[in-house]
């Protein structure tokens, strides 16, 4: 027998011995009063899954040397590595958490909820793709159904092609999680990955976009502009207070829910850590909406977003852009730096002044950076506490139909690349409200 054959034989013996040693624990065991159901895997891990399981006296005697079990025992399937100690499995993680859940359930204070219930939301097999909604930064957005709840979600699918894009994806995912604290931002319901794909499951906002409203209505009234501007101010200020600059604000990225409230979306180009005097450089954004400093690739801060906001206000009120997005970069810079927008007589005095303050060429003179935009006379009639609570009645009810009654013709996820091995650590996330 050659050396290689001997090594293989020894390996087989070792694996068989290991299998025999863990065989008694394949179906489950009792750990200090907790029934732990195990689902063995080659990497020696098992899932955590809570519920009530009836254990017979015979089963308890078999796996716990005669101990009597209650007729109903909380079952917790553990997800994590384990080892052996004196012929018994030893949980290396979560054991304290398991005991806490167990005692809470006995006290009737809280129904046992297992941490690994989140695994349902992180499994690509539990989602069915319905139709493509559009293209976002770094990936396409597809309407999907979360099969377990029969709930619609918008999934952004990003293929792991360029590792240099991973940092952008991480930033986008982190902002989507923070967004759950502000009603005017689109939030993530879950973020997860497969070997080849990065997936951002977003709340499905089915009222279209601000761009759709402008296209359908043309010029908006002063009252309508005031409503959308007020909600956008709250959303933009929340981002800036958390050190986030969006860098791609435009009507296309402002979603409208079925009630008519706005939600800022597509955080693929955000920069984070923008506190105090911190600045960024580099050209990002969409022609026609980018600030002079961005076009010139000079250092910029949150003032870049306030410029884009000014452009959006102008577009809502006039149905056109203040500066032409046509031509090459040099021509765009020429238009923004050396020209002033035309302000039609239809604009109110207060709205015209607000837009002028937002479109200041010098960032340090721009409203939002220089002064609190909420104090501008255009917003003098706004009750900001009601805006933040979303109690104001939207002036326009979206005409876009809800997606609950359409014919679902399912499509497929992109094929997995078996050669892809890169995984983003600590990326998996589920919004707590989705677990309820």
Q: Whole-prediction pTM value?
A: 0.72
Is 297 a residue whose pLDDT tops 60?
yes
The Cα-based distances of 234 to 110, 124, 211, 249, 264 in angstroms read 36, 34, 19, 14, 10
Q: According to the model, what pLDDT value does residue 47 have?
A: 32
Q: According to the model, what pLDDT value does residue 17 have?
A: 63
Q: According to the model, what pLDDT value does residue 317 have?
A: 98
- The encoded tokens of residue 42 equal 């080659």
Structural domains in the chain plus CATH codes: 20-106 (no CATH), 124-204+403-435 (3.30.200.20), 210-389 (1.10.510.10)
- Give the residue numbers of the binding site for ATP: 156
Task: Report the SS3 class of residue 248.
Answer: coil
Is 130 a residue whose pLDDT tops 80?
yes
Query: 360 near 387, Cβ under 8 Å?
Result: no
- Report pLDDT digits (tens) over 381-404: 999 999 999 999 999 988 755 444
Q: Rounded to an integer, what distance in angstroms lies between the CA atom of residue 241 and that of residue 114?
A: 34
Beta strands in 160-302 (DSSP E): 188-193, 197-203, 254-256, 262-264
Q: Which residues contact 279 (CB under 8 A, 6 or more apart)?
A: 299, 300, 301
Maximum mean pLDDT: which of 164-173, 245-254, 283-292, 335-344: 245-254
Is 271 a residue whose pLDDT tops 70?
yes
Whether 353 sits among the annotated catalytic residues: the reply is no
Neighbours of 301 (CB within 10 A): 21
Active-site residue (options: 115, 248, 266, 305): 248
- Please state, for a pLDDT cut of 70, what percent of the chain lies above it: 70
Q: According to the model, what pLDDT value does residue 37 have?
A: 44
Looking at the chain, the number of H-run helices and the number of E-run strands are 11, 14
Q: According to the model, what pLDDT value does residue 69 have?
A: 40
Q: What does the angle CA 112 – CA 147 – CA 97 come to, to the nearest 5 degrees?
A: 20
User: Which residue, chain included where needed, has tokens 């435009």?
Assistant: 250
375 burial level (CB within 10 Å; 0-12, 13-18, 19+): exposed
- Please state, for a pLDDT cut of 90, what percent of the chain lies above it: 49
Strand partners, 143: 131, 154
> What letter would DSSP give residue 120?
G
User: Which residue, chain included where needed, has tokens 């689109």?
Assistant: 186
Q: What does the angle CA 178 – CA 185 – CA 262 come to, to the nearest 5 degrees?
A: 170
**φ, ψ (nearest 5 deg) of residue 388:** -65, -30
> What letter would DSSP give residue 13?
H
Is 86 a residue whose pLDDT tops 80?
no
Instruction: Give the mean model confidence (pLDDT) for residues 141-156.
Output: 92
Is 93 a residue whose pLDDT tops 90?
no
The model's confidence at residue 330, banded by pLDDT at 50, 70 and 90, is confident
Q: How far is CA 238 from the centre of its chain?
A: 16
Instruction: Give the mean model confidence (pLDDT) for residues 266-273.
Output: 92
Residue 314: in which H helix or E strand, if any?
helix 303-318
Maximum mean pLDDT: which of 139-153, 273-287, 367-381: 367-381
Q: Which residues contact 339 (CB under 8 A, 6 or more apart)?
A: 323
- Are β-strands 197-203 and 88-91 bridged in parallel, bridged antiparallel, or unpaired? unpaired
**Four-CA torsion 295, 298, 300, 303, nearest 10 degrees:** -50
Query: 169 near 184, Cβ under 8 Å?
Result: no
- The encoded tokens of residue 188 equal 């993530």
Q: According to the model, what pLDDT value does residue 13 have?
A: 64
Q: According to the model, what pLDDT value does residue 2 have?
A: 55
Q: According to the model, what pLDDT value does residue 176 have?
A: 95
Neighbours of 80 (CB within 10 A): 15
Q: Buried (b) or exposed (e) across 402-432, using 16+ Cβ within 10 A?
A: ebeeeeeeeeebeeeeeeeeeebeebebbbe
């Amino acid at each position: 027998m050659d050396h290689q054959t001997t090594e293989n034989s020894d390996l087989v013996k070792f694996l068989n011995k290991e299998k025999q040693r863990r065989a008694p624990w394949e179906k489950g065991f009792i750990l200090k009063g907790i029934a732990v159901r195990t689902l063995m895997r080659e990497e020696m891990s098992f899932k955590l899954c809570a519920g009530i399981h009836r254990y017979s006296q015979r089963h308890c005697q078999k796996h716990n040397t005669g101990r009597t079990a209650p007729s109903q025992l909380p079952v917790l399937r553990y997800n994590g590595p384990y080892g052996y100690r004196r012929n018994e499995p030893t949980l290396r993680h979560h054991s304290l958490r398991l005991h806490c859940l167990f005692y809470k359930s006995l006290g009737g204070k809280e129904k046992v909820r297992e941490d690994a219930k989140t695994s349902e939301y992180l499994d690509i097999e539990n989602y069915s793709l319905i139709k493509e909604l559009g293209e976002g930064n770094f990936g396409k957005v597809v309407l999907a159904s979360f099969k377990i709840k029969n709930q619609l979600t918008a999934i952004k699918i990003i293929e792991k092609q360029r590792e240099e894009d991973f940092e952008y994806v991480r930033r986008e995912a982190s902002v989507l999680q923070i967004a759950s604290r502000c009603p005017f931002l689109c939030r993530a319901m879950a973020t997860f990955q497969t070997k080849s794909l990065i997936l951002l499951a977003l709340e499905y906002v089915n009222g279209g976009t601000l761009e759709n409203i402008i296209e359908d209505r043309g010029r908006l009234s002063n009252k309508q502009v005031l409503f959308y501007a007020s909600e956008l101010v709250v959303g933009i200020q929340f981002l800036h207070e958390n050190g986030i600059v969006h860098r791609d604000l435009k009507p296309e990225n402002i979603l409208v829910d079925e009630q008519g409230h706005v939600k800022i979306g597509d955080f693929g180009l955000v920069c984070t850590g923008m506190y105090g005097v911190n600045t960024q450089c580099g050209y990002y954004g969409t022609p026609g909406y980018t600030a002079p400093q961005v076009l010139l690739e000079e250092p910029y801060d949150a003032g870049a977003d306030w410029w884009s906001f000014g452009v959006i206000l102008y577009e809502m009120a006039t149905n056109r852009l203040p500066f032409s997005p046509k031509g090459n970069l040099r021509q765009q810079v020429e238009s923004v730096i050396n020209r002033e927008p035309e302000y039609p007589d239809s604009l109110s005095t207060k709205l015209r002044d607000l837009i002028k303050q937002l479109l200041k060429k010098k960032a340090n003179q721009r409203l939002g950076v220089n002064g609190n935009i909420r104090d501008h006379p255009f917003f003098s009639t706004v009750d900001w506490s009601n805006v933040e609570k979303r109690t104001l009645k939207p002036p326009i009810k979206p005409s876009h139909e809800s997606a609950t009654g359409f014919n679902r013709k399912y499509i497929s996820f992109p094929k997995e690349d078996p050669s892809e091995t890169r995984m983003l650590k600590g990326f998996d996330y589920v919004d707590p409200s989705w677990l309820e």
